[in-house]
Every structure is written in structure tokens, then in C-alpha cells.
Amino acid sequence: MPTKNQPIRRQPGWLDNAIFYEIYPQSFCDSNGDGIGDFEGIISKLDYIKELGCNAIWMNPCFESPFGDAGYDVSDYCKAAPRYGTNEDLKRLFGEVHKRDMHILLDLVPGHTSVEHKWFKESMKAEKNEFTDRYIWTDSVWEEPVGYGSLRGISDRDGSCAVNFFTHQPALNYGYYKPDRPWQQSIDSPGAIATREALKDIMRFWLGMGCDGFRVDMAGSLVKQDEDSKGTIALWQNIREFLDEEFPDAAMVSEWGEPDKSLQGGFHMDFLLHFGPSHYNDLFRCEEPFFSDRGKGDISEFVAKYKENYEKSERKGLICIPSGNHDMDRLARSIHDDNLKIAFAFLLSMPGAPFIYYGDEIGMRYVEGLTSVEGGFSRTGSRSPMQWDDTTNAGFSSAPKESLYIKLDESKDRPTAKAQMADESSLRSEIKRLIEIRQSHPALMNKGEIEFVYAEKGAYPLAYLRSSGDEKILVILNPADRETDFECDYALGEEVYSFGGKVQKQGKKIAVPAKTAAFIEV
Ligand code: GLC
Ligand code: CA
């Protein structure tokens, strides 16, 4: 029987202290002045990421695509999009990452392709061929797949093709868990198995070239009519067997949002996200977020769900709470100033691997009022160019302003990486300190245990105990603009981190000043 602290499944060792940085390649750094970021630009900023303390990267899709959904509409899974560079350049990026003792995950989009993918073009044909069953098609154009949008009347094939997200993203066929129409194929039908094997080939291709694993897009939605996700879990278990055999060090993180399922499917990590049952939005993105200084938030439902996931997942893997990502509003849209620092004190003291969305480390803002770019719509404002310094285009690109991929934040006081690196009291400097502290205390690291000490409905502060072996650290977070207190039995020892005021204990009562974060040995 596995015991506490001992994962049931072997995990790549580097995940024990991995801290990820998410790069949206379009907007990170443009090396050749065409207005869009590229691999060479990313290579030139690896030292910046490392200096912050991050030792791993997740890069959004960088494959050939018509970019109707910023690259989540792939037209060739095994070819880098020319706007970022060649496959050789990408391979060089892997090498540069490894030289710095870092790791990199690519973004795998297994659920759908672009309508321009050659598989789809073949699949649209009326004559049967190798790709007829690669996507989910009904057997008459007059019938649409229940529960999904569809593409119909677009070719001679008599049928409607299910779509997963936008209508230009046809759904690949991994089968139905409980087929009840003649055109619905089972999960072990030849068509569904062929799709799964094609997915393995794509993974082989990039892992063989040196990438360290994948962030998997919409990982929980592959098998259809799969109420308890049993079919999708079985599919990922099959992929896990393949990885264990051929690429045991490859790391897998899912965009799923239900760790009890994804970790059972063999993922090492799962994200809590702005959708699904996790109450993630209660933290930073709702009318009264817990981390706002108004102090009107409620952490209790988030904590209840977190505990449930933590117990159910039996430490099979890591539950990851990202600072944000390319799909949600920037953290700095609703959380400001000192509260951003306290939010990061939370993100960098919770178990699981932390993920920092590019620019969140300097408090980059959501750019209001932008016209959609490449299927971004309201997400576009969170995807604006990285602000490096105060040179042309904030150091992102030498292109004329009009040809930047997305407009920059034009505000005069926009934050930049350069200014924040030079300022000890900046958000970035605070994050760098927090990372150093996390990495020097096993209790605070990815696999340290957590026990909630104080997380009451509508109340502040939040307190939890992190532990590993004999090391025990009490984390106390009070984002509210007023002093709060709670009771606990622990005798307070040395303070390993503090921001804001001084936490005081009298009897059982611990008083926590307004806008304060403290990590204290107990
Ligand atoms: C995921 C991606 C998002 C994309 C969608 C469809 O949610 O993060 O950006 O639009 O899947 O692939
Ligand atoms: Ca470029």
C-alpha cells in the first residue's frame, strides 16, 4: 500500500520542484520585427524566466494553423507554424531550455483539428477512405449530433460533422461511451482506435525531438456521451501505458478541472480553472474575490472542493492553480497593488506545480476594448504583447505599431519587466523572493502536504499548514483591508516569509494586520 507522501505512480522527478511559466508565443518576444513573437525571441528571454525562478515552460500551440482560434485549430500537428520558425528552430529551443536545466511542455490539442487539416479534407469526401471515421459524422445531413454544434452541407458526404469549440474545429472521433445511434461508434471501434494511435504518433514525434511533455487541451472531453468520464479516463490510461513504456520522463498536465478523474487517467497534474466545479473564480475573478482588499469574499467553498479533490485524488498527482491563462481575464483586472503580492503568496505556497501566465509577474493589465484577434474575442485583452522595457513597443518588437499582433497596453504607467527588476519593492521582486522561499522549504514545495487551519464562510484570514517530514509551516493570508484574527493551537516559531504587518499571538488568538501574508514555522 502506498503511504502518505509516497505517490502511487512514478512521476518524472523534475515535477517535484517544477514552477511553470506559460508563454503565449505570439505575444512574448518578436526577434525579426514582423510584429509577432517567435521561437528565437523566446530563446532570447529564457534567462529572464530562469532569473525569476521558474524552471519549466508551457508554450501554447505553435503548429501550422489557419489561426482561427490562435492555433488551437491545428492543420499540421508535426510542423511548426512558419511565423514562429521551423521545426529545427523549435528543436533548438528545446536544447536551449535543457541547457539551463529547465523543461518545456508543448500544447497538445487532441479533441479537434482545423477544417484545413488534411485528415478533415479526406474525411469530407463521399467515397470511403482511411479518414472517413477520423471525425464524428452522423449518417445523414438532416441529423445533427445531439449536444454539439455541427458542420453540414459543406461537401458531398451525406452527414453532419460534430464540432468541439468554434464551428471550424471538427471533433475527432474517439468513440461514444454509450452509443445509441447507428452512426455513433464505440470506443473500441477501428475508427476510434485509429484516432488514438494517430495521437500517439504526434506525441512520439515531439517527444522524440526533445520536448518534455504536454499540456493537453480539453482533455476531459474526448469520448462522447460519457457521463462519468469512464471512457475518457480509459483512453488516457491507454496513453499512459504507451508513455510509461516509451517516454517515462514525459510530463502530462490536463486542462480538465476535475483532478479526481484526470489523475486516475494517468495525468501527473490537472488545472483548476475558470470553468468546472472547482470554485477557482472565487479566488480572483468574481464580483467579490477573496483576494480583493474589500474583504467581502468567501474562500470556504473553494477550500471544501479542494479538500474533496485532494482526498479523492489520493496524492496520485498534482493539483495546479494557475495565476491565469490565455483564456481568462488578467489577474490584475480585479486584484491590485499589495493584493497581487498576497495572491502570489497564496499561489506560491499551495501544493501542486505553480503556473505563472506571462506578464502576470509584473501585473500586466487586461487591455480593455480590443477588437478580437484570431478568435480571441474577450480573451484578446489578456493576450497583449509582453512589456519588457520602455523602448519602442515596450521592447516586444521593432515593427511599426500598427503591425503588432495585438495592440499593446497603451497606458503611460504600464508596468515593465525592466523597471520591476530594478525595484526591490515591485511585484516581480516579491514573486522572485516567494519562489526562492518555496524552493528552499520542502514543506512548501509541490508535494508537501496541506491541512486547512482556518477557512470559514465569508471570513478572513485564510490559514493552512504545509508540511513535509518534520518541517511544518503555517501560512496565513489576510488580503482584507482590516485586521482579522483566528484561533489556533500552534506555537509560532520562526517567520520564513512576511509581507505587510506583523502577526501576533496572544493565548490562542492570532491577530493578523490588514493586507498581510506570513509563513511561520510551527
Ligand atoms: C482550450 C484552450 C482555448 C481554446 C479551446 C479550444 O480551452 O485553452 O484557448 O480556444 O480549448 O481548443
Ligand atoms: Ca517574429
To which H or E segment does residue 359 belong? Answer: none
The three three-digit cell numbers of residue 37, written as one number: 513573437
Look at residue 9 in the predicted model and tell me its pLDDT: 61
Q: Which ligand is nearest to the CA of 73?
A: 1
> Residue by residue, what is the 3-state secondary structure of 90-145?
HHHHHHHHHHCCCEEEEEECCCECCCCCHHHHHHCCCCCCCCCCCECECCCCCCCC
Short-list 97, 26, 24, 108, CA closest to 56: 97
Give the phi and the psi of residue 519 in degrees, each rounded to 5: -115, 120
Ligand 1 centroid–CA 282 distance in Å is 21
User: Helical H runs in 422-477?
Assistant: 427-439
Ligand 2 centroid–CA 331 distance in Å is 27
Nearest atom, ligand 1, residue 166 CA: 6
Average pLDDT, the chain: 97
What percent of the chain shows pLDDT beyond 90? 97
Asked whether the beta carbons of 314 and 8 are under 8 A apart, the reply is yes
- Rounded-to-integer distance, Cα 350 and Cα 266, Å: 22
Ligand 1 centroid–CA 168 distance in Å is 13
Quote the distance between the C-alpha of residue 491 and its chain's center.
Answer: 37
What mean pLDDT do residues 8-32 have?
A: 93
Q: How many CB atoms lie within 10 A of CB 3?
A: 6
Look at residue 10 in the predicted model and tell me its pLDDT: 74
The three three-digit cell numbers of residue 90, written as one number: 523549435
Residue nearest to atom 12 of ligand 1 (CA): 72
The three three-digit cell numbers of residue 489, written as one number: 493551537
- Rounded-to-integer distance, Cα 327 and Cα 379, Å: 5
Short-list 91, 92, 85, 84, CA closest to 37: 84
Spell out where 255-396 has E strands: 269-271, 318-320, 355-357
Contacting residues for 141 by C-beta, under 8 A, at least 6 apart: 152, 153, 158, 159, 160
The three three-digit cell numbers of residue 25, written as one number: 508565443
What mean pLDDT do residues 242-265 have?
A: 96
Q: How many CB atoms lie within 10 A of CB 147?
A: 8
CB pairs under 8 A, 24+ apart, for 326-329? 326/22, 326/24, 326/60, 326/70, 326/357, 326/379, 326/382, 326/383, 327/273, 327/274, 327/379, 327/382, 328/273, 328/274, 328/285, 328/379, 328/382, 329/285, 329/366, 329/381, 329/382
Short-list 500, 437, 505, CA closest to 473: 437
Contacting residues for 476 by C-beta, under 8 A, at least 6 apart: 461, 462, 463, 503, 510, 512, 516, 517, 518, 519, 520
Spell out where 178-305 has E strands: 213-216, 251-254, 269-271
Ligand 2 centroid–CA 388 distance in Å is 16
**Rounded CA Rg of the chain:** 23
Which residue type is seen at 490? Y
Nearest atom, ligand 1, residue 327 CA: 9
- Rounded-to-integer distance, Cα 218 and Cα 224, Å: 13
Q: Which residues line ligand 1 (CB under 6 A)?
A: 69, 72, 109, 165, 217-218, 255, 326-327
Look at residue 8 in the predicted model and tell me its pLDDT: 52
Nearest atom, ligand 1, residue 73 CA: 12
- Rounded-to-integer distance, Cα 29 and Cα 48, Å: 12
Q: How many CB atoms lie within 10 A of CB 176?
A: 22
Quote the distance between the C-alpha of residue 37 and its chain's center.
Answer: 20
Look at residue 104 in the predicted model and tell me its pLDDT: 99
- Rounded-to-integer distance, Cα 10 and Cα 316, Å: 9
Confidence of residue 313 (pLDDT cuts 50, 70, 90): confident
Residue pLDDT, tens place only, 74-108: 999 999 999 999 999 999 999 999 999 999 999 99
Phi-psi region of 268 (alpha: psi -120 to 50; beta: other; left: phi over 0): alpha
Out of 69, 107, 113, mutate this one to test ligand 1's pocket (max ligand atoms within 8 Å of CB): namely: 69
Look at residue 2 in the predicted model and tell me its pLDDT: 42
- Rounded-to-integer distance, Cα 72 and Cα 386, Å: 21
Q: How many CB atoms lie within 10 A of CB 371?
A: 9
Look at residue 64 in the predicted model and tell me its pLDDT: 98
Nearest atom, ligand 1, residue 325 CA: 8
Residue pLDDT, tens place only, 143-175: 999 999 999 999 999 999 999 999 999 999 999
pLDDT score of 4 more than 60: no
Ligand 2 centroid–CA 18 distance in Å is 29
Look at residue 129 in the predicted model and tell me its pLDDT: 98
Look at residue 3 in the predicted model and tell me its pLDDT: 47
Residue pLDDT, tens place only, 268-307: 999 999 999 999 999 999 999 999 999 999 999 999 999 9
pLDDT score of 397 more than 90: yes
Which residue type is seen at 483? E
The HSE-up count of residue 8 (CA atoms within 13 Å, CB side) is 12
Out of 217, 326, 328, 373, mutate this one to test ligand 1's pocket (max ligand atoms within 8 Å of CB): namely: 217
Ligand 2 centroid–CA 36 distance in Å is 4
- Rounded-to-integer distance, Cα 139 and Cα 376, Å: 33
- Rounded-to-integer distance, Cα 256 and Cα 263, Å: 10
> Coil, strand, or helix at residue 80?
strand
| Cis previous bond, 351, omega within 30 | no
What mean pLDDT do residues 42-66 have?
A: 99
Look at residue 1 in the predicted model and tell me its pLDDT: 39
Ligand 1 centroid–CA 217 distance in Å is 6
CA distances from residue 299 to 76, 259, 282, 339, 345 in whole angstroms, order as listed: 43, 19, 7, 15, 15
